[in-house]
């Protein structure tokens, strides 16, 4: 799979970001894997099954293929540019400031909101213990006042751990991730070997629980927590500025982490469906009913702590106890590393000149971006207010993540044309084709999330642009770049076009959610004017048009040299 560059012209400067390069290959691998294996494994199988039933397995396979291809794109870019906050900087290198600011903000929002999701997941699981029931309101899916206080305390502990330094953090994360991978593996083996009810795959409405079965499978990919669970392979890229040997280690860490994570999640979904007590499924009526507690004690317990409940009902007391412990360790480990990576993304945004330069200042002793860590924790806590439940946060974070990922294939295609001779420790085979296919696939996932999720994300994007404009107006960053309008002529048509197709499509059609606060009465789907399959064709053609426009309007090679000067300094002329 890996192809080494034959004649590298330049070598990347490994001290361009001014950080300590102490993170080994295992540290990078476990940073990505520890982000992939978090609350997604605790809740994703139940949420996906409640939407698509046993056919959720197909959704996991489709999502895994899409995310693996996106990961391969990131593997080439990560090896090419071993910098901190890489995903926020690739579009900047290829298309300039406006495109870089837009995709950089998506990158930051998705990373900043994962830590509170993981905190919420840990508290929700803890509420299955009688002594902690007061932390979470199962009837409304929200944290209680005490639960919010606990969430703040946990985020504070994440901040302290991050401020100590990356080398110590990487060692702690290595231990946590080893546990986080081991427990799901043991759970799958035990459940498949001792409590596997094959009839579950045909009961509860059948393998496809509704007549519109394919649509349910597609909806489950973004809304069932599937893509959210697979997020995290890019964490190795975000820590590129602290990697000990980035050229060799970054691509391998990205590729190995997503292959391991995808395979494990598919097995987790199979084990959950097979291990669920048939009586519990009968009480729910159908697979789509297991997410609705209906004041049923067993279903209420299942929704609060899915795998713990399955193990308890099966009489696996020891496993249930281990799962309760893991319900804190897995989300905590993921939240810890995401707070780390999001502060590196804000570091990258500051280095690119979009936000105040203070975010790019490291602690002299630990080489950690202190302001970035603290600010990210505060932003994350704010997201617990309008979206206080795991499922409510997942849709928006997934769309932000995939839009962030969508910037990578565009940057990949442009940089292949702009700087073909830069050293690529990993070179993706069939890159031209896979870049286009991965861009289309990323847009599919955003579309499947529905109009309500997309429109909410656009509001968040506008907030980010206002913050960046404020930084520019008050000259809070001396490196503020000029706006590269021509190279970014495709950005606004892309975002508007995605919104139009989402609104006219049928995903989430006819559903209105009450929401919370300013998000009351949000229409979660389009109006159905473009029917299923036609909509996918329209979106594919639209994506290809945007891709080709981006390739034509990309920055010149000379402009790219200017932006990447810190990473690839100009060669010194011979005397």
* 286 neighbors 207 (Cβ within 8 angstroms): no
Query: Domain range spanning residue 117?
Result: 25-435
Whose tokens are 């094959």? That residue is: 198
Query: Comparing C-alpha atoms, which of 391, 530, 389, 546 is closest to residue 451?
Result: 530
Rounded Cα distance between 116 and 377, Å, is 8
CATH code of the domain containing 173: 1.20.1740.10
C-alpha separations of 112 from 80, 105, 118 in Å: 25, 10, 11
Q: Residue 196: helix, strand or coil by DSSP?
A: coil
Asked whether residue 544 is domain-assigned, the answer is no
Query: Which residues are 84's β-sheet partners?
Result: 239
Asked whether residue 448 is domain-assigned, the answer is no
Asked whether residue 159 is domain-assigned, the answer is yes
Rounded Cα distance between 136 and 120, Å, is 9
**What would the two tokens of residue 402 be?**
């995939």
pTM: 0.81
Asked whether residue 187 is domain-assigned, the answer is yes
- Residues whose CB falls within 8 Å of the CB of residue 181, separated by 6 or more in sequence, listed in order: 33, 37, 260, 264
pLDDT per residue of the chain (575 residues) written in tens, 0 to 9: 444 444 444 665 555 445 556 677 887 888 788 778 887 888 889 989 988 889 999 999 999 999 899 988 988 888 888 776 667 788 989 999 899 888 888 888 877 777 787 888 788 777 777 778 788 776 666 777 888 888 888 888 877 876 775 566 667 777 878 888 899 999 999 999 998 999 999 887 778 877 656 888 988 888 888 888 888 887 777 666 666 777 678 788 888 888 999 999 999 999 999 999 898 888 878 888 887 666 677 777 787 788 988 999 888 889 998 988 888 888 877 777 777 777 777 877 888 788 888 888 777 766 677 788 888 888 877 777 655 556 666 766 777 777 888 899 999 999 999 999 888 888 899 999 999 999 999 999 888 888 877 887 888 888 888 888 888 888 898 888 888 899 999 999 999 999 999 888 877 544 444 443 333 444 445 666 788 788 999 999 999 999 999 999 999 988 999 888 877 777 544 44
Asked whether residue 443 is domain-assigned, the answer is no
Rounded Cα distance between 204 and 277, Å, is 12
Asked whether residue 458 is domain-assigned, the answer is no
Query: Comparing C-alpha atoms, which of 316, 309, 278, 302 is closest to residue 191?
Result: 316
SS3 sequence of 46-68 = HHHHHHHHHHHHHHHHHHHHHHH
* H or E element, residue 523: strand 522-523
Structurally, the chain folds into a number of domains equal to 1
* 495 neighbors 458 (Cβ within 8 angstroms): yes
Asked whether residue 532 is domain-assigned, the answer is no
Rounded Cα distance between 394 and 123, Å, is 16
Asked whether residue 470 is domain-assigned, the answer is no
**What would the two tokens of residue 14 be?**
């490994």
């Amino acid at each position: 799979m890996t192809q080494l560059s034959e004649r590298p012209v330049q070598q990347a400067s490994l001290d361009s970001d001014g950080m300590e390069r102490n993170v080994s290959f295992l540290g990078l691998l476990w940073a990505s894997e520890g982000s992939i294996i978090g609350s997604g494994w605790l809740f994703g199988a139940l949420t996906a099954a409640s939407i698509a039933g046993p056919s959720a397995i197909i959704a996991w396979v489709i999502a895994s293929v899409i995310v693996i291809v996106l990961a391969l794109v990131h593997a080439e870019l990560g090896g090419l540019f071993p910098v901190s906050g890489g995903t926020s900087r690739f579009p900047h290198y290829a298309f300039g400031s406006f495109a870089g600011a837009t995709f950089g903000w998506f990158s930051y929002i998705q990373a900043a909101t994962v830590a509170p999701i993981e905190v919420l997941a840990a508290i929700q699981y803890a509420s299955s213990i009688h002594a902690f029931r007061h932390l979470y309101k199962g009837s409304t899916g929200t944290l209680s006042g005490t639960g919010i206080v606990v969430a703040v305390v946990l985020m504070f502990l994440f901040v302290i751990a991050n401020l100590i330094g990356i080398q110590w953090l990487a060692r702690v994360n290595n231990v946590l991730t080893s546990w986080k991978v081991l427990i799901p593996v043991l759970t799958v083996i035990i459940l498949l070997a001792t409590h596997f009810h094959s009839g579950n795959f045909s009961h509860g409405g059948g393998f496809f629980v509704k007549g519109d079965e394919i649509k349910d499978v597609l909806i489950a990919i973004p809304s069932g927590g599937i893509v959210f669970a697979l997020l995290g392979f890019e964490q190795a890229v975000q820590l590129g500025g602290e990697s000990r040997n980035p050229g060799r280690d970054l691509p391998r860490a990205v590729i190995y982490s997503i292959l391991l994570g995808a395979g494990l999640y598919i097995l987790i979904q199979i084990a959950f469906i097979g291990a669920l007590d048939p009586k519990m499924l009968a009480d729910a009526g159908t697979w789509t009913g297991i997410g609705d507690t209906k004041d049923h004690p067993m279903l209420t317990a299942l929704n609060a702590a899915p795998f713990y409940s399955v193990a308890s009902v099966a009489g696996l007391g020891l496993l249930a106890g281990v799962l309760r412990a893991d319900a804190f360790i897995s989300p905590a480990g993921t939240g810890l590393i995401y707070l780390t990576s999001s502060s590196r993304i804000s570091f990258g945004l500051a280095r690119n000149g979009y936000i105040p330069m203070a975010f790019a200042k490291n602690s002299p002793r630990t080489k950690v971006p202190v302001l970035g860590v603290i600010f990210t924790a505060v932003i994350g806590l704010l997201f617990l207010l309008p979206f206080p439940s795991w499922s409510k946060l997942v849709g928006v974070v997934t769309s932000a993540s995939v839009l962030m990922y969508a910037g990578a294939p565009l940057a990949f295609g442009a940089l292949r044309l702009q700087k073909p001779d830069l050293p690529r420790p990993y070179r993706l085979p069939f890159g031209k084709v896979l870049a286009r296919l991965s861009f289309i696939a990323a847009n599919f996932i955003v579309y499947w999330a529905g109009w309500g999720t997309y429109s909410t994300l656009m509001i968040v994007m506008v907030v980010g642009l206002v913050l960046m404009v404020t930084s520019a107006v008050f000259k809070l960053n001396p490196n503020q770049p000029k706006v590269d309008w021509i190279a970014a002529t495709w950005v606004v048509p892309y975002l508007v076009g995605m919104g139009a197709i989402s609104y006219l499509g049928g995903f989430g059609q006819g559903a209105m959610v009450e929401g919370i606060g300013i998000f009351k009465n949000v229409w979660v789907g389009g109006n159905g004017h473009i029917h299923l399959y036609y909509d996918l064709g329209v979106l594919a053609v639209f994506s290809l048009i945007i891709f080709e426009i981006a390739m034509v309007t990309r920055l010149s090679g000379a402009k790219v040299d200017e932006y990447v000067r810190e990473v690839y300094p100009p060669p010194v002329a011979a005397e």
